[in-house]
A and B are shown apart, each in its own frame.
Chain A
Amino acid sequence: MKKTIHNAFDNVHTSQSLKDSTMNFLAQQKTSPVQKNTAVLRQLTAACLTFILLVSGLTTLYFIPVSAIHIDTDPASANLKINCFNRVVGIDGTTKNTDLRHMKYEDAVSCMLDKNDSEDTVITVVGNEKMLAYIEANVPQNENVHCGHLSAHAAKQAERCGMSAAKYELYLTLLQNGIDITPQEAQQIPMKTLRTLLNTQTDEPIPTQPNTTVYDDCATDTSECESSLHHQNGQHHGHGH
Chain B
Amino acid sequence: MRSEQEIRKALNRYADTVTRLCMLHLHNKQDAEDIFQTVFMKYMHFDGQFENDEHEKAWFIRVTINACKDLHRSFFHSRTVSLDAIKDCISPIHDDYREVLEAVLQLPKKYRQVIYLHYYEDRTVPQIAQLLGKNQNTIYTQLKRAKEMLKKKLGGIADEENHS
- A4-B161, A12-B93 known; 15 new pairs, CB 8 Å cut-off, are A1-B162, A4-B154, A4-B157, A5-B150, A9-B20, A11-B94, A12-B23, A15-B90, A17-B88, A18-B15, A18-B88, A19-B11, A22-B11, A22-B37, A25-B37
The majority secondary structure among interface residues of chain A is helix
Q: A19, B120: Cβ atoms under 8 Å?
A: no
Q: Are A8 and B104 in contact (CB under 8 A)?
A: yes
The answer to whether B97 and A14 have CB atoms under 8 Å apart is no
Question: B44 contacts A8, CB within 8 Å?
Answer: no
Among the stretches B1-9, B57-65, B71-79, B130-138, the one at the interface with A is B1-9
Is residue B147 contacting chain A, with contact meaning CB distance below 8 A?
yes
Neighbouring A residues of B28 by C-beta, 8 Å: none
In the bound assembly, the distance between CA atoms of A2 and B123 in angstroms comes to 13
**Chain A to chain B contacts (Cβ below 8 Å), 10 pairs:** A1-B147, A4-B157, A9-B119, A16-B91, A18-B88, A22-B37, A22-B40, A23-B7, A25-B41, A30-B1
Looking across the interface, which residue of chain B has its beta carbon closest to that of A36? B1
6 shortest A-B CB distances, which residue pairs?
Answer: A8-B100, A8-B97, A14-B15, A9-B120, A5-B119, A14-B19
Residues of A within 8 A of B4 (CB): 26-27, 30
| CB nearest neighbor in A for B151 | A1
- Interchain nearest-CB distance for A148 vs B (Å): 67
Instruction: Say yes or no: B151 contacts A14, CB within 8 Å.
Output: no
Pick the residue among B1, B44, B90, B154 that contacts A1 (CB under 8 A).
B154
Q: Is B90's CB under 8 angstroms from A14's CB?
A: yes
Set A10, A13, A23, A25: member contacting B19, Cβ < 8 A: A13
Return chain A residues, CB-CB under 8 Å to B104: 5, 8
A6 to B11, CA, bound (A): 21
A5-B100, A23-B11 given as contacts; is B89 within 8 A of A10 (CB)?
no
A53 to chain B, nearest CB (A): 31
Interface size, chain A (Cβ < 8 Å): 27
Residue in A9, A15, A29 whose CB lies within 8 Å of B91: A15
Instruction: Let me know if B120 and A10 touch, CB within 8 A.
Output: yes
A21 an interface residue at 8 Å Cβ cutoff?
yes
Residues of A within 8 A of B157 (CB): 1, 4
Alpha-carbon gap, A17 to B15, bound state (A): 12
Contacts of B115 in A (CB 8 A): 5
A3, A17, A22: most-surrounded residue (chain B CB, <10 A): A22
Tell me the bound Cα distance from A2 to B88 in angstroms.
27
Q: Which residues on A sit within 8 Å (CB–CB) of B116? A: 9
Are A15's CB and B88's CB within 8 A?
A: yes
Interface residues of B in 94-130 (CB under 8 A from A): 94, 97, 100-101, 104, 115-116, 119-120
Q: B98: shortest Cβ distance to chain A, in Å?
A: 8
Roughly how many angstroms separate A25 CA and B36 CA in the complex, as a whole number? 11
* A14–B37 alpha-carbon span in the complex (Å): 12
In the complex, A21→B116 CA distance in Å?
26
Given the complex, which residues of B lie within 8 Å of A3, measured CB to CB? 161
Please name all residues of chain A whose beta carbon is closer than 8 Å to the beta carbon of B119 when the two chains form the complex: 1-2, 5-6, 9
Q: Is A7 an interface residue (CB 8 A)?
A: yes
Which chain B residues border A18 with CB–CB below 8 Å? 15, 19, 32-33, 36, 88-89
Q: Are B41 and A12 in contact (CB under 8 A)?
A: no
Distance between A153 CB and nearest chain B CB, rounded to angstroms:
57
Asked if B84 is an interface residue, CB under 8 A from chain A, the answer is no
- Beta-carbon nearest neighbor of A25 in chain B: B37
Query: How long is the Cα–Cα vector from A19 to B88 in the complex, in angstroms?
Result: 12
Q: Residues of B contacting A2 with CB < 8 Å?
A: 119
